[in-house]
Amino acid sequence: MALMTYAEAAARALALEMEADANVVVLGEDVGRGGIFGQYAGLQQRFGAERVIDTPISEAAILGAGVGMALAGLRPVVEMRIVDFALCAMDEIVNQAAKNRFMFGGQGCVPMVMRMPIGIWDASAAQHSQSLESWFAHLPGVVVVCPATPQDNYSLLRAALACGDPVVYMEHKTLWGVRGEVDEAEHAAIGSARVVRAGNALALVSWSRQLEVCEQACAQLAAQGIEAELIDLRSLWPWDRDTVLASCARTGRLLVVHEAVQAAGFGAEIAASAAEATGCKVRRLGAPRIPVGYSPPLEAQSRIDADAVAAAARALVG
């Protein structure tokens, strides 16, 4: 296994897919110089400007071109830089990419990966720090993936490129420099969660950057004799109902934690499904319904830290 950053793991996965399939292309702003996070480092030099394509600053044009490329038989990776900027291309995502297979009787498909980094970006304020994964989980016709580790950013990006449907691929803006071991032979299945830590007191479900926060909370809880079963959802649609519901049925309790605003967040879908299927006690923990502030004290109001997760778990266990 090799030690890689989250960004390096993604670049390595993409390089392998581009080597294997000449139809895999990249387009977006700054991709030629490696992307703003280094997630495309060296790819234009290796594969040329015809396959790693720098574009004008127009998210609607970039996404629309990606849809057209996919319908014509290519497998584009479309870079939106951050999810906040993808809002300029919502018509192309919602009314074109997501619906094409259904509206035209399966005559066309859009095998495209749309990279939209999510989450609070330190001192970047309200227009650069959003977690909008629930918007896309609500959208029929797209797959939604949220990798939390370098290994998953490698394995799940390769799985997304093989998917055949449009994938909203949501990396976290502050994970790019995180290092971890990556096994290039390891494959990941979209829709399969990972049990990070076994436990019998409650099921603790999260994804993306909040997984690390939940691991810290689990260590606090274990020191107090409370063993939480920590589950990394990895993909929000499809999501691994079997793994989550089995844990809920066994422990009788569920705590869902996400960085996104709690109101109408994807945690509500998981909590409702678990309550309906198992009758377990449920609790959600997410950000307040406020824009992310610029100053550190205001920004901190939108963060869910390990202490808050541990406190919510203790209250649920009673």
Nearest C-alpha neighbor of 287 from the set 301, 273, 276: 301
In CATH terms, the fold of domain 2-182 is Rossmann fold (3.40.50)
Question: Helix 6-20 crosses helix 150-161 at what angle (to 10 degrees)?
Answer: 30
Is the pTM for the entire model greater than 0.95? Answer: yes
What is the mean pLDDT for each group of 10 consecutive residues in the chain (318 residues)? Answer: 97 98 98 96 97 97 98 98 97 97 93 98 94 98 98 98 97 97 97 98 98 98 98 98 98 98 98 98 98 96 97 97
Using an 8 Å Cβ cutoff, are 202 and 229 in contact?
A: yes
Structure tokens at 120: 């609070």
Distance between CA 2 and CA 227 in Å, rounded? Answer: 31
Distance between CA 28 and CA 111 in Å, rounded? Answer: 17
**CATH fold match for the domains 2-182 and 194-317:** yes
The correct CATH number of 194-317 out of 3.40.50.20, 3.40.50.920, 3.90.1330.10, 3.30.70.260 is: 3.40.50.920
Structure tokens at 182: 């990556």
Would you call 128 a catalytic residue per the annotation? yes
Residue-level pLDDT at 52: 98
Which one of 128, 138, 187, 258 is the catalytic residue?
128
- Where in the chain are the domains? 2-182, 194-317
